Amino acid sequence: YLGKGLAILIDILNPECIVLGSLAVRLGELLLGPAREEVQRESLAPAWQNCRIVPAELRGHIGDVAALCAAMYNQSADATKQWQ
């Protein structure tokens, strides 16, 4: 189903690159290979030929980045309260 979903997104949005995290990082080509094959079968050739599907490069640091993003979001939300 991943490949079918990506094919729909590629046909509609025509992105240059789709970056997948979580299982795509852990399973690599075991997951991405079949997904890419399904994308080629299901989407329009001009769209998928210009789109790369790659695993995120954060690897084990995704939790650190997510925590940092949450902290920055909370900080910016607190900072803007004085202007509301």
- The 10s digit of each residue's pLDDT in 32-55 is 999 999 999 999 999 999 999 998
Please, which pLDDT band fits residue 82 given cuts at 50, 70 and 90?
low
On the question of pLDDT at 83 being above 60, the answer is no
Of how many residues is the chain composed? 84
Question: What mean pLDDT is predicted for residues 7-30?
Answer: 90
The pTM (predicted TM-score) of the whole model is 0.69
Q: How far is CA 9 from CA 12, 43, 61, 84, in A?
A: 5, 9, 27, 37
Please, which pLDDT band fits residue 28 given cuts at 50, 70 and 90?
confident
On the question of pLDDT at 60 being above 80, the answer is no
Angle value at C-alpha 55, between 49 and 59, nearest 5 degrees: 165
Closest CA to 43 of 83, 79, 3, 71: 3
**Which helix (H) or strand (E) segment is 17 a member of?**
strand 17-20
Question: What mean pLDDT is predicted for residues 75-81?
Answer: 66
